[in-house]
Amino acid sequence: MKILILEGIWGNHTRWEKFRKRASSEIAEAAIWKYENSGNTPLSELAKKLADHISSQTEEVALVGYSMGGIICREAARLLNDEQIAAAAFLHSPHQGSVFGKIFDSPATRELAPGSELLAGLKPHKFPVMATWCPFDLVVVPGNSASLPCERNIRIDIPAHNAPVWAGIIHREVTAFLREKTKL
């Protein structure tokens, strides 16, 4: 099994290096899946590229998607009919959209707006899922839009959208969940 980590919109992919090293040492080989995250590419196109990448793997993958990266992971899994996905963690991802999707006008942010066709097409997955969310998130608005009916839905009261990038408590939860659900 391999773990793929996806950054959110406008973020620096390399800031996930600390978590990548932790996941690699505690669970399985982890890689940061770098993609064009400026917001100028539709999420549906990015999800297709991720699905193609996953299809090319010889083993199952676990996905860790932060913010917009979580939505890309969910759409890629839908395109794959959940095949080859062992488990996933969606960290502060706007599953029901964010009002910022209506404020910033780009192909990706339009798909992150509440009621978008892409978000409406996402369904529950067959593989184990955890989600983190913060009621005080100032990027995913409202904050409970990142909440997801899933196996492990964790409210994090750190009032920063980027908490999943650096918060050790979240890293521990994600590694424990993936280790347990992938039986590694």
Tell me: the pLDDT tens digits for 91-137?
999 999 998 888 888 999 999 999 999 999 999 999 999 999 999 99
Q: Cα separation of 91 and 8, whole Å? A: 10
CB 125 within 8 A of CB 134: no
Q: What does the buried/exposed string (b/e) look like for 64-95 if buried means 16 or more CB atoms within 10 Å of the residue's CB? A: bbbbbbbbbbbbbbbbbeeebbbbbbbbbbbb
Closest CA to 104 of 40, 168, 54: 40
* pLDDT at 7 (0 to 100): 98
For 182, list phi and psi in degrees, rounded to 5. Answer: -100, 0
* pLDDT at 184 (0 to 100): 55
Best CATH choice for the domain 2-182 from the list 3.40.50.1820, 1.10.3720.10, 3.40.50.800, 3.90.79.10: 3.40.50.1820
Closest CA to 174 of 151, 158, 149: 151
Element (H, E) at 83: none
| pLDDT tens figures, 125-176 | 999 999 999 999 999 999 999 999 999 999 999 989 999 999 999 999 999 9
What is the Cβ-side half-sphere exposure of residue 103, based on CA atoms within 13 angstroms?
7
Evaluate if residue 20 carries a pLDDT over 60. Answer: yes
Q: Cα separation of 98 and 141, whole Å? A: 5
Q: Cα separation of 134 and 111, whole Å? A: 21
**Average pLDDT of 7-24?**
97
| pLDDT tens figures, 61-82 | 999 999 999 999 999 999 999 9
Q: Is 120 exposed, middle or buried (0-12, 13-18, 19+ CB in 10 A)?
A: exposed
Evaluate if residue 59 carries a pLDDT over 90. Answer: yes
Query: What token pair was written down for 55?
Result: 């299809």
Closest CA to 73 of 26, 114, 125: 125
